[in-house]
Every structure is written in C-alpha cells, then in structure tokens.
Structure 1
C-alpha cells in the first residue's frame, strides 16, 4: 500500500466517522484496514467474520460513497477477513523447560489483569484498557461532558453511583440495565463509568461491545485458552457490555449467561446497555432476560428541546477550544435545538457541518446558513413506540379487568373479548411476532394470537361500537 493510498484511507475514515458518529465508528470500523487499491476496487479487511457480515449488510454502500468522495475511480469495495488477526495456538512448553503458569498469570495473559511490571502501570487509562482486551474508549465520553436533563437524570445518577463505588462496597444495582433509542447517550454513560472507574485504580472496569465480547470468546476458543478467558472475565470488578441487542447465537448467549451469573453471585458489578428493555430482547434466552430484569432497569427518554439546546451549547464551547474563531449565535443554536429532534447524533452532525463550513469558507453562522445546512436532518416526528405492557394496562383499565386476567387461562366472556382486543392491538401497533405476542400473553401459542386477531378484524367491519372502542384505545396508547 502506497503512502498516497494510506492518506486517502485516512480521509475516508474521517468522512465515515463524521457520518456515522464516533461510537458506531469505534464499534464497527476501528479495526478495518486498507489492504490496497487495484483498478476500480478498494480491498479492505476486518478481523472477524461477524464484522464482515455486519458491515456488508448495513454499511457497504456508505463506505463506498466515502471512498468515491476521495477517489472517483473506486467502483466497488471488497471486504475480507484477516486470518492472521487471531494467532495460532502456540505449542505447550515442556514442563522441565517452563513451569505451568499460575491461575493469576493465565488471567493476566488473556484479559490483562493488573500487570506485575511497574512500567505497564504507567500506561494511560485508554491504552491500558485496550491492552486488556477492552473495546476502544473515546476520551470525550466522560461524566464531565455528559449533559443532564429531565429524560436522563435517573440514569445518570445510577451510573455515577456505580462509578463512585469502591472494591468491597455493597453492590446496590446489579445488573444496571440502561435502554434507550439510538443516539440518546447510552454509550456515553457506559464509557464514562469505565473512565471514572479505571482512573482511581481501585477496581478493574472492562468495557466491551457485544461484538467484542463475542470476538473474545471465538478468539479464545481458537487459541485453546477459553477456560482462562472465562476466568479472566469473571475476575473483573465491573463488566460493562454495550449494544446487547447484537449478542447472537445460542452458545454465545449461554456463555454470557454463565458470566453474568458468576459475576453477580460473586458481588461484582455488571452494567449493560441495549436499545430496548430486557423483555423486548426476543432473541435472548428467557433465563438471561429474567436475570437482566431482576436488576435496576432504567430508560433514557427522548432529548427535550431544553436538553438539546444545552448539549449544543456544550459542543460549541468544546469546539471553540480547538477552533477559537468558531462562533454560533444563540438564535442559531436555538433553531437547531428546536428543529433537529431525532437524537444526539443528528445534533452532532449538524454542528459538525457548521464547523466545517466555518473553517472552509469563513462564512458567519447566520440563520439562513443554518437552515440551508441542516434541512435534511429535520425529520418528521416519529409516533410513540407502543409497548405490549402499555396495551395490556390500557385494555385492562378500559374493560375493568386486571392484567393478570388477560394473561390467565380464564375463558369467561368478560375476559376473552378484552384479551382478543389486546392481542389485536399488539399485532397492529407493535412489530412483535405472533409467537412473541403469545409468549407475552401467558405463554399462548401463536395460533391463538392469530385466531384473536382475525376474530377482531372480522368484528370491526360489522360492530361500530367495538370499532369506536378500538380507535379510542389506540388514541390513548399514542397519548400516554
């Protein structure tokens, strides 16, 4: 690979990071390397098949667009797996030549427990964390840079409590499970916990994305040191897992369940984040969902306008530290906070555009400039995401029955009709499958749910009173 290709690849990565955000870039693209450019093809490599599959399925077009912005001649991307990324297992030394390493030495080798050499202890927190097998940490994602508002106060307080604890303290929230939509600050808080915990040196905090967790186990199996890897994970004081919704495969989920149980039973802290509550992680085993739900489950709500304004003000102030001439009037900040409502990443993207325009053209940040630059980030307000629990609660209240009645096996008329209505609403207002709806209604078969849905659909065409009731229930669910 030539130096020119390397420079282009650096610019491509910069474009990609600006588009997808730092946390997504760190999770999926940080370990992507350029192998070379031949004719119209850019050959890239990643260390795992999982990464290759995910990038090809979700980001291949975006990677290609970023390449074409730097090199028009590139027409396609070729992604391969670096087989050399996982070292072949070494032959075991003869006993007389080298004694069997102790359990502590095995743990240090696999996950990077506290090194015995004083020189290694001087590594910066981020370098030491990555050397220990953790996912990359963003130095900007600390508690100092996290903006607290009404939608995240409880989550922030719980995260601070976890980060401030010391070895031997009673674990209050275990596991701490944080769920929220994309770009609302989950990763920021998880990395803040990791930074704060490792800075004191009192406890060892390990931050892993779900993909990195899976990669670690696969690598350990190939290197024939899976037992040592498991022991090492279970020796962590605080294990932080991000994007749990990406944890796939029965074997991998079983390993995660064993690790989770071992840590909690030993009084070690576990912190987990996902894009939905435990009950909605349909691909996870029931035992894992139950254990996750048994801790403190907190939701980070949408960013309100006031919080969006404060986030933007903080980002402008931080950007000014590196670009002293960057000025954004409060009227422009207020306009962006009011107009860009989807998530924090869109806010970051809007501000990056203004910063780039300021640096490249020197134009002052007027309202007209802001309206032009961020117009494609202004999205229509998404309807409220309805949960099956909300449907069950609203329907039970409407028909004067209890939620346990809806989940029971009772077949009296005053329970059967509300149950069928609730199943119908669950099918029409959520993305849950028929088997999942049946499971959430007392473990019923999917054919029971299908019968209920068809029954209500047929009645709605002839029974105007029922149609009015169903429409009223839908309005209540969207407003609550």
Structure 2
C-alpha cells in the first residue's frame, strides 16, 4: 500500500529508486568523485512514465550544463538499468520538492498523510516580512545601487564550457563549480574565500571569468575586478568624494571576484580591501581571489588580508601536462577552422607542438596562430618541417624554472654562513653587504620582479638601492673570476634544484 501511495505522490517505485541509485553509483565510478561531486549530487529522479525517465535539477545553469556535457552518458546508464531510451532533465520547482518530501514521509508513515509537509512545518510565522526570509542583511544597499559598481570587462568566450579539464586543474575546476552552485539565504558559502593561484597562462583568469558568467546566469549580483581596477576605482572615489558609496556598493553584492591580487599596492587601498573582504565574508557573501603565487608568498600584502586568504580554500593550478596541452591545441585549431575552413593540422604536428611547447596556454595559442599564418599566407599544407619553423621563437623563449626571491635569499645566506634575517636587516658590515648585493643581483636576473618589488622584499629598501647593488656586482664580476664562479654556481643550484 505504501508503494502505491509513493507512486501516486512521486511517480516512481522503490524498485525505480534502487535502479536510480545504481545509475548514480556507476556515474560516480566512471567520472570520478571531483566531477560527480560538482555536477551530479543535485540531479534527482523525478518520475518514470511512458517509457521515459524524468530527472530534475534546481537551477537553469545546472540543467543546461548537464544537457550539454553529460546527457549521452546518463542516457547510456539509464538504458542499462531501466531499459528505457528516453531521458529528460527538467527544472525542479519548489512545489515538486515538497511533493517528493511528502512521498518519502508517506512511505515511512502511511497513517500520517494528512500532516503538513516539511516546508509548511518549517515556514516562519505569517507576521514575518517576506524580505526577512530572503536575505538577513538589512543594511545592504538597494539592488539598483549595487548594479552601479562597474567591474572589469568579461570575455564571453571564457566560460565553463570552454574550460578544458585535466589533472593539473581538476581540483580548482571542481571547487569553482561548487562555489558557483552554492547559493541562497540558507546556504552559506562552502569555501570562503576561494583562493586559486597559478603561473602565467595556466587558466586562472579563464576560471574566474567562467565563475562570473555562471553566477550571473544564476541571478547573482557579481562584480569581477582586476586588482588594478579595484585600486583605480577606490582612488577615483576618493577624488570624487564618493568613497562611502563605493564601499557600500561593493559590500552589497553577492560575489566579489578579484584577479591578480598580487598587484594590490598602497596602505590605504589594502586597508579598504581588507575591510571589504571582512564585511563580505562576515555577511555570508562569496569572495573569490586569484594570484600568481600562494598567500604565504605575498609579502607585500597586509597580514590581515593574508590571514583571511589562508582561512579559506587555497587551490593551485599546476603546469599543463602533455594531454591537457593537446586538448588545448585541438580546441584552438577547431576554433581557427571555423573562420578558415581549409585550415588543417595533422595529428603528428599537434603531438609535436604539445610535446615541444610546455610553458602555458598562451604560448600554445600563439603556436596555432603561427601555423594558421603559414597555412593561409603560404598556401602550403602544414607538416612537421613547417611547424618547426613556425614555432621556433616560442621554443627558444621557453621559461626556465621559476625562481623565488625567498629561495635566493636563503641560498645566498647559507653559502656565506649568515642568516636570511641578516640579509634583510639594516646592517652594513662587509660580511653582510656583499651577500645582500649578490642576492639582489640574482633576484633581478632570475625573476620577473620589478626593482621596487625586489627592494620591498629586501627589508623595504628603495629601488635605487637594488639598482646600485646590480651595477656593483656587474662591475666586480668583470674583474673577479672567483665571484663569477660563485654566481654561476648559485644560479645552477637555483634553476636546477
């Protein structure tokens, strides 16, 4: 009898539910925990009727994503368990959620079917205003004011659907998807702040903009800003005497996304960023941050900001492996073929480029552009010899191992039997000054940091001090072969370890 009631209320039987659980188990095994946890946990069985299995999800974005990327796989699993070929994914309505909850309660307590539903039992008193049920932050600026915050422009091509996934970025991708899907007044952000870091060209900006697009589609108020845009906006608001409005507008949004936070400079700007960060997180609003290094290496940022970053989820995007580089090349080639129909790259050339260019996605895109130019301008088919010529400059300019200023300071200090604190100190004794100058010289030669940033990393010194140190070591090395040998040794250790 309970099964009959369950079929009436939820349109599926206990046996159907067991089949659906086997489908879910098989999908998790095939796709892995990361992808399954990001997309499939809120996919539910709704009803089985007319030789069709109907599934539901809570948001339009999730429905669109599932239909685009996983519908064929779901159909295959459903056909195996249900012996039905038709599968639909629909948007789950609130009334349907209550109906499914009632069905579950009816199966366990058939005599209590006249009791109110779960939603009715948990509903607030009638006297409570509707606005209080939707959002607890009564001091937030009106929606019209929040929309006046002008973010950095988004590239419409940088979406989740064009983000290619592989082992180096799978965790960051899964976490980003979960952050976007987590929403609602009763659903506090799971990872807040969400901090991702990667070297140049590995996809962190693509991931952040994809999050901004997806959150906007989910009707969330999102502002995407580069660190430069945040700084210029704050300075402009001070100049125009609208700083209070600038602060209130930023703190009234649902999601703040800041890219390239390593460029955030200035004491007052960092203080304001810290206050904004605290206000948003404390109010349950989502904060997403990206940088080119982990929080512990952002020495120029305020310690309170770094503490907030460390308290959230910190995920890195690693160097692209060959499989992922091949995917990126194939996607870029396919995009180029849409504009140039006769453009074709043989598989052996794709494999050669993926194997040869191991730096980042931008270099891979540059390789495709060079191949396209050779193909269209010369009118000759692409072959290995053509590819070698086309990408020669990209191969020659591959970046060496990334060297950190901290590692330089520690190695130089160890070589000269002093401490890193000595190098950062104001001491001017001969046994400290020369190692300090060598460390500054190596920092200029082996990193991409500017002279002012190197100076800040050496105890807050001026950029002219760094420039003097570089010139001094160059002058000494021109006439002291032993110093040249020491510097070469330190370089090899730093670039090869």
Shorter-chain TM band = 0.5 to 0.7
Q: 1:243 to 1:287 in 2, by over 3 A?
A: same
Q: Pick closer, same or farther for the CA change 1:282–1:225 going to 2, 3 Å.
A: same
Q: 2:215 aligns with which of 173, 178, 197?
A: 197
For structure 1, which segment, 256-265 or 165-174, has the greater mean C-alpha deviation from structure 2 after superposition?
165-174
1:161-216 alpha-carbon deviations (Å, 9 max, x no partner):
212222223432424242423x1111101101111111122x22221112222232
**In 1, distance between residues paired with 2:174 and 2:490?**
35
Q: Taking structure 1 as reference, are residues 151 and 473 closer, same or farther at Cα in structure 2, changes over 3 Å only? A: farther
**Cα deviation, residue 326, structure 1:** 2.0
CA contact (8 A) 1:341 1:379 kept: no
Query: What TM-score comes out, normalization by structure 1 length?
Result: 0.57
Residue number in structure 1 paired with 2:263: 246
Q: Quote the Cα distance in structure 1 between the aligned partners of 2:343 and 2:296.
A: 45
Q: Which residue of 2 aligns with 1:122?
A: none
The residue number in structure 2 matching 1:159 is 176
CA 1:209/1:442 → structure 2, altered by over 3 Å: closer, same or farther? closer
Partner of 2:248: 231
Measured against aligned partners, the alpha-carbon deviations of 1:313-369 in whole angstroms (never above 9, x if no partner) come to 111123333433221111111222223333211211221232344445543222222
Say whether 1:342 aligns with 2:342: no
Q: 1:86-128, CA deviations, whole angstroms, 9 ceiling, x for partnerless residues?
A: xxxxxxxxxxxxxxxxx9996545441xxxxxxxxxxxxxxxx
Aligned residues: 354
| 3-state SS of paired residue (1:302) | coil
Answer whether contact 1:147 1:310 (CA < 8 A) is retained. yes
Question: What do the CA deviations read for 1:273-318 (whole angstroms, capped 9, x no partner)?
Answer: 1223334334333332333333333332322333212210111123
Q: Following the alignment from structure 2 to structure 1, what is the Cα–Cα distance between the partners of residues 451 and 374?
A: 50
Q: Answer yes or no: is 1:171 the counterpart of 2:198.
A: no
Cα distance in 2 for partners of 1:358, 1:472 equals 45
**What do you get for the CA RMSD once the two structures are aligned?**
4.8
Q: Distance in 1 between matches of 2:309 and 2:223?
A: 19
Determine the structure 2 residue equivalent to 1:385.
402
* 348-357 or 384-393: bigger deviation: 384-393
Instruction: Give, in whole Å, the separation in 1 of the partners of 2:314 and 2:434.
Output: 29
CA contact 1:179–1:300 (8 Å) conserved in 2: yes
Match of 1:270 in 2: 287
Shift of 1:246: 2.8
What is the match of residue 390 of structure 2? 373
TM (norm. structure 2) is 0.55
Q: Are 2:196 and 2:204, in contact at CA under 8 Å, matched by a contact in 1?
A: no
| Structure 1 residues 120-159: aligned runs within 5 Å | 133-159=150-176
The answer to whether the aligner puts 1:318 opposite 2:370 as a matched pair is: no
8 A contact 1:264–1:270 mirrored in 2: yes
Q: Quote the offset at 1:372 in angstroms.
A: 2.3
CA contact (8 A) 2:193 2:281 kept: yes
Q: Evaluate the alpha carbon distance shift between residue 216 and residue 191 of structure 1 in structure 2; reply closer, same or farther with a 3 A threshold.
A: same
**Residue in structure 1 matched with residue 205 of structure 2 by the alignment:** 187
| Aligned ranges 1:271-420 → 2 under 5 Å | 271-387=288-404
- SS of 2:293 mapped into structure 1: coil
The residue that corresponds to 2:4 in the other structure is none
Deviation at 1:241, TM superposition (A): 0.8
Quote the Cα distance in structure 1 between the aligned partners of 2:397 and 2:366: 17
Distance 1:109 1:204, change over 3 A: closer
Q: Is the 8 A contact 2:140 2:251 kept in 1?
A: no
Q: Classify 1:230/1:256 alpha carbon distance in 2 versus 1 (closer, same or farther; 3 Å).
A: same
Partner secondary structure for residue 315 of structure 2? strand
How far apart, CA to CA, are the structure 1 residues paired with 2:266 and 2:373?
A: 42
Structure 2 stretches lacking a partner, 5+ long: 1-137, 425-430, 462-481
For residues 278 and 367 of structure 2, the distance between their equivalents in structure 1, rounded to whole angstroms, comes to 42
Structure 1 CA distance, aligned partners of 2:409 and 2:181?
Answer: 39
The residue aligned with 1:29 is: none
> Which structure: larger Rg?
2
